[in-house]
Structure 1
């Protein structure tokens, strides 16, 4: 059982890649569920700096270099409610000019290059 957190029928998805958030969106639903797959509307969202830090720390705590971090804005401030290690980004891509697939590919290529130099 999880405590219900009043959140105004919206939440924030922050897409973490490495040590930064590359894109974020607000998901607005008709009720307490705010999944885009369940009909919520993705809208652009400029993530406050403290939310970005929260998302990056949350992903790092569970060992994810790529994660979709879901944040509720509750009455006592932001709360991380879910960390997705294999996040989808279809809804998110519609709200940002960032080419998310390109960012992910660049991150992987850069990491592979650093690892091969380390081992070589």
Structure 2
């Protein structure tokens, strides 16, 4: 995991949970440490590799190296690559029928001026962005020119027509095949002080969130959904998010990681639990044998 997450509740609490169950967890911080890759990434070294990193961080290279030698990765390294690049994620999603907005990708911000005026207002953000960084609402071509200095140097950018909404969005989390949702203030409407809270999932949003896992090949993930005038719209997909407001999140995530490690990365399809989404469950305890590694 990257340095910025070394004190973060997720994954630190998951590490503590796994350790309390008797598992050995080795933590690598590739952004600040000398990593002996040829020794760290080898068959038989660990049962699974789990990544918590920022977009563009060096951790994904380590995860891909682990996958290349046949080790289990959580999530699948190719799946993570598919959602970390937002332009690639949009292409994958739309090609599989997910409700993803029309998406433009440009290497230089000036090229955005070629987008038809009818598509404004636009949401513009870095293709490798995360945590709401660099997200801008651009009202017109004139405003685009005025924002050039802010957009320059961001690398590849994506632009999508703005989806009218209430000022809130849904964050849907998938953990161990279960779906949970919270409602929060949209980053494009920061002036609306709406506290984040758990909400019930509609059947339609639950179906879409489950399809996201199948389309991108993710086991643990989050989906940002806007409720637009034409229905739900997927605006972002995150591998290994914060899992905020998921009940007993550290234990749930830890159990999911253990199951994926034991099954070689194969997870039950999220769609299998949609029909019983709101049923009360008491997750089975998963005792660990001392000396098992992760």
State the TM bucket, normalised to the shorter chain.
Answer: 0.7 to 0.9
TM-score (norm 2): 0.33
Do 1:10 and 1:32's aligned partners in 2 also have CA atoms closer than 8 Å? no
**Deviation for aligned residue 1:40:** 5.7
Q: Would you identify which runs of 4 or more consecutive aligned residues in structure 1 move more than 6 Å?
A: none
- The answer to which structure has the higher strand fraction is 1
CA RMSD of aligned residues (A): 2.0
Which ranges of structure 2 fall in alignment gaps of 5 or more residues?
A: 1-158, 265-294
Match of 1:99 in 2: 248
Count of aligned pairs between the two proteins: 104
Match of 1:16 in 2: 174
- The within-5 A match list for 1:53-92 is 53-89=207-243, 92=244
Which ranges of structure 1 fall in alignment gaps of 5 or more residues?
A: 116-120
Deviations 1:47-90 (A, max 9, x none): 1122111111112211211111011000000011110013113x
**Deviation for aligned residue 1:28:** 2.3
Instruction: Identify the structure with bigger relative contact order (alpha carbons < 8 Å, sequence gap 6+).
Output: 1
**Deviation for aligned residue 1:111:** 2.2
Distance 1:74 1:15 in 2: 20
TM-score (norm 1): 0.75
Distance 1:62 1:114, change over 3 A: closer
Match of 1:44 in 2: 198
Distance 1:59 1:33 in 2: 28
Match of 1:2 in 2: 160
Do 2:182 and 2:199's aligned partners in 1 also have CA atoms closer than 8 Å? yes
